[in-house]
Amino acid sequence: MDMIIEIVYFLAAAVFIIGLKQMSSPVTARQGIVWAGIAMVIASLFTFGDPAVLHNTGNLGWMVLAIVAGSAIAYITAKRVAMTDMPQMIAIYNGMGGGAAAAIAAVELVKVARVPELAQGTTVMVLAVLGAIIGAVSFSGSAIAFAKLQGLIKKTIRLPFHMLINLAMFAGAIALGGMMAFSGEVDASILLIFFALTLVFGIMFTLPIGGADMPVVISLFNALTGLAVAFEGFVLQNAAMIIAGTVVGSSGTLLTQLMAKAMNRPISNVLFSSFGSATGGGAEEEVEGSMKEIQADDAAIMMAYATKVIIVPGYGMAVAQAQHKLKEMEALLEERGVDVKYAIHPVAGRMPGHMNVLLAEAGVDYDKILDLDEVNPEFPTADVALVIGANDVVNPVARSNPDSPIYGMPILDADKAQNTIVIKRGRGAGFSGIENHLFYADNTRMLYGDGQKAVAGLIAGIKQL
């Protein structure tokens, strides 16, 4: 039976990797998620055939109850959560994974505390401790990330000597963990202090990070959760956990690096600065000119008689749920012979792929959805760039002001279009709190209002022509 279970684990891991590969394309992403889910269900079911589980029948009921309860909660919340809240859901689910890994480590360490003879050697103890630290930090840190994205925590919090406090807590956790791992002896009081330090460290580590950097932090915690699961897989000698954790950890690490690159900022700068907070950022140059408003009918005329229109969606589009209206407007423009394309920045919205999923949901052709490198050369030949809900990813100050916090960040060149129309609810700055110089450019016109209603106004205007 052990051999059969190991084979099933191996096959499940192979399907995980295939599913992950399929998730790299909008065309196959749904299929990849489904197959990865099926593999996880099969691996979980075969775990019940493990001799260690079968010999401990007293916990079978609790295991089934936990699976049923967790599945029910996940199903209900996944059905109800709005696409705009998807990053929060990812954060909290990722935190649960880290918490589960830390809980596994806690159980194993408690066993050793009760019966020292159960210690499996220094290597296993070290892995258990590392999994506990990483998992607990990911759990509490992801909870703070969720609270920030959800708006429950609206300010960055930085205490006096914050970095020194963090270093002291982390060093204390490492010291206590090292004592337990290398001595092979676990004291209950030390174990409690150890977990308290790691959990508080996760909170303190995340509190000073600005809201605009939360997606990168969530991705990093995702990688840490995978690493913690892999470590605990070694502790439990469970091949499925080792492989799945390694895949999640490596993919999370790559995603974190890609997001940081898209913002042109090193990971250290994301984690230890205050970009996106009220206190962060460098000096801002004064904005020259003024915002010039345009009415929907005039904007509709400009777009209807254009040769090429490039639409730049952002988080504001997601909040307004305007993607279906954009698709309707696209169809009307194409009937008039207008070439319509969509420009997607890697960090548009709150997570990579956020805009792609919304546009795909509305039925937009994948071939029309272009990434930054593909679409930027086309802006100078576009008659109109329509920016809806995007802010920081089209801010030309990223090219012009070395003192700006976003200087050097690759942006979409919407300002290089012949005309730029910006749909915006109000006159405030973007998520990072930085004033957008695009709004004051000579070729930019502001169309104020809710994204969906504004696009509806454009549609009505185009139909009248």
Strand order in the sheet with 308-313: 369-371, 339-344, 308-313, 384-388, 419-424, 444-448
Contact 356, 389 (CB under 8 A): no
Is the CA virtual torsion 437, 440, 442, 448 positive or negative? positive
Contact 354, 86 (CB under 8 A): yes
Contact 411, 394 (CB under 8 A): yes
Specify the amino acid at residue 4. Answer: I
Contact 292, 415 (CB under 8 A): no
392 labelled catalytic: yes
Contact 458, 300 (CB under 8 A): yes
| Residue-wise burial string across 394-419, b where 16 or more C-beta atoms lie within 10 A, e elsewhere | bbbbbbebeebbbeebbbbbbbbbbb
What are the DSSP calls for 262-325, one per residue? Answer: HTT--HHHHHHS-TTSSS-----PPPPS---B--HHHHHHHHHT-SEEEEEE-HHHHHHT-HHH
What span, in angstroms and rounded, lies between the C-alpha atoms of 277 and 293?
29
Q: How many CA atoms, within 13 angstroms, populate the side-chain half-sphere of residue 422?
A: 29
From 50, 373, 392, 413, the catalytic residue: 392
Residue whose structure tokens are 């490198």: 373
Which uninterrupted H or E stretch holds 206? helix 188-206
Structural tokens at position 13: 């891991």
Angle between helices 188-206 and 122-150 (to 10 degrees): 40
Active site residues: 392
